[in-house]
Amino acid sequence: MPGEVRQTGRVLPMLATKGDHVPAAEGWAHEVKWDGMRVLVDVRRSGVRVWSRNENDVTVSFPELQGLASLGLPDVLLDGEVVALGEGVPSFGALADRMHVRDAARAQRLAERNPVTLIVFDLLAADGEELLDRPLSQRRARLEDLGLDGAAWQVPPTYADGAVLLDAAEQQGLEGIVSKRLGSRYHPGRRSRDWLKFPIRPTASYVVGGFRWETGSDHRLGAVLVGEPGSDGLRFRGRVGSGIAGKAGVVLAGLLGPMRTDASPFSAELPRLDRQDTVWVEPRVVVDVQHLALTSDGRLRQPAYRGVRTDLDPDDLLGA
C-alpha cells in the first residue's frame, strides 16, 4: 500500500500465527506477548490519533497518549499494545473500563484513576518515510532510537533465547511470548508465520451446569456452561464452545443427557443471554478448560474444552 501510511496515518496491523514450537535458530527475536488492546498510534506535531486493529478511532479513550506529541518526535506511526498494568502485571480486565469510552471528560477521569501504558514494538513510518518494506531489524533499531521511555509509553526489550523467555513469562503470570523473524517485512492485515505467538493458557477444572445444542441441531453440542464450586454454591464462570466439536462433543453429550434437570444449578441467576436455549443439568460432570485468564467479572476469557475429568467429583474442586 505505497503512500497510504503517509496520507492517512492508518494501516491494518500485521498479525502473528500461533506457533507449535519456539524457534531456536538465529535470526529471530523474542518478546513478551502483552495482554492488552492492539493499537496503531499516529504521532504528529499537531496531535496524536489512536486506531484499533479494526480501524476504529479510539483516540478519546486514551488521553494520556496525547503527551507523545510534545516529545519532539518526527511524525511517526507506531504499532503496539495499550495495557493496564494494575499491580505490575498486564490485565485485560483492568483495561476493560478504558476501552470504548467516547466521552472525553469521563476518559480523563478514568486515565487519572486507572492509567494505561502504550507498549510499542514496531515502527511503520517515520518523518514521511514508509518502513513497511524494511526488515524488522531496521525498523526496531529506528524505534529504539526514538527514546520512548516514560510512564505512559515504553519500548520493551527483545531476547535471543525464546525458550527461556517463555518459561520466565509463565512464572511471572504473563500472557505468553511472540517470536519474530528479524528479516521480516511488515505485511498489513496479514497473519504471517514470520511472527509466531505462543500464548500461555492455564488449565483448570470446572463443573458443567448446563449445555446448548448447536444452532439447528438437537444432538450436537454447541457449548457447555461451567461453574466453580464455592461455599455459596456453583459460581458461573462462562460458556465454553471451543474444543467440543466432533467425537469430544458426542461423548460429552452422552454423559450430560441423563442428567437433565428443570432448574439452574448455579448460585446466582444468569444473564438472559446465557440462560437462553440452555438445557440445565445436575452439576456432577467435571471438565478441564484451558483459558487465557479470568475477566474482572469472574468469567473465563477465551476458554477451550480439554476433556472430562472422570477422576474428579465436584467436591474435589472445593478449595482447590
CATH of residue 12's domain is 3.30.470.30
pLDDT value, residue 7: 46
Of 184, 199, 214, at which residue does a domain stop?
199
Of 199, 225, 248, at which residue does a domain stop?
199
State whether 234 and 192 are in the same domain: no
CA separation for the pair 33, 197 (Å, rounded): 8
Helical (H) or strand (E) element with 130: strand 129-130
State whether 24 and 151 are in the same domain: yes
C-alpha cell recorded at residue 20: 507449535
Distances (CA, A) of 113 to 92, 94, 149: 16, 11, 21
State whether 247 and 307 are in the same domain: yes
pLDDT value, residue 144: 97
Of 199, 214, 239, at which residue does a domain stop?
199
Non-local (6+) Cβ contacts of 269 within 8 A are 275
Is 180 marked active-site? Answer: no
State whether 223 and 283 are in the same domain: yes
CATH at residue 218: 2.40.50.140
State whether 170 and 207 are in the same domain: no
State whether 13 and 106 are in the same domain: yes
Residue tagged 440445565 (cell numbers): 280
pLDDT value, residue 78: 97
State whether 227 and 123 are in the same domain: no
Question: pLDDT tens track of the chain, all 320 residues?
Answer: 334 554 455 689 999 998 989 999 999 999 999 988 899 999 999 999 999 988 889 999 999 999 999 999 999 999 999 999 866 778 776 787 888 889 999 999 999 999 999 999 999 999 999 999 999 999 999 999 999 999 999 999 999 999 999 999 988 888 899 999 999 999 999 999 999 999 887 788 999 999 999 888 878 899 999 999 998 899 999 999 998 888 788 889 999 999 999 999 999 999 999 999 999 999 999 999 988 888 888 999 989 998 888 778 898 887 55
pLDDT value, residue 1: 33
State whether 215 and 185 are in the same domain: no
Write out the residue range of the structural domain in which residue 313 sits. 203-317
Among 33, 180, 197, 247, the one annotated catalytic: 33
CA separation for the pair 127, 138 (Å, rounded): 15
Q: How many domains are contained in the chain? A: 2
CA separation for the pair 257, 254 (Å, rounded): 6
pLDDT value, residue 249: 86
State whether 229 and 299 are in the same domain: yes
State whether 294 and 213 are in the same domain: yes
State whether 149 and 62 are in the same domain: yes
pLDDT value, residue 42: 97
HEC letters along 66-108: HHHHHCCCCCEEEEEEEECCCCCCCCHHHHHHHCCCCCHHHHH
Helical (H) or strand (E) element with 247: helix 247-256
State whether 173 and 77 are in the same domain: yes
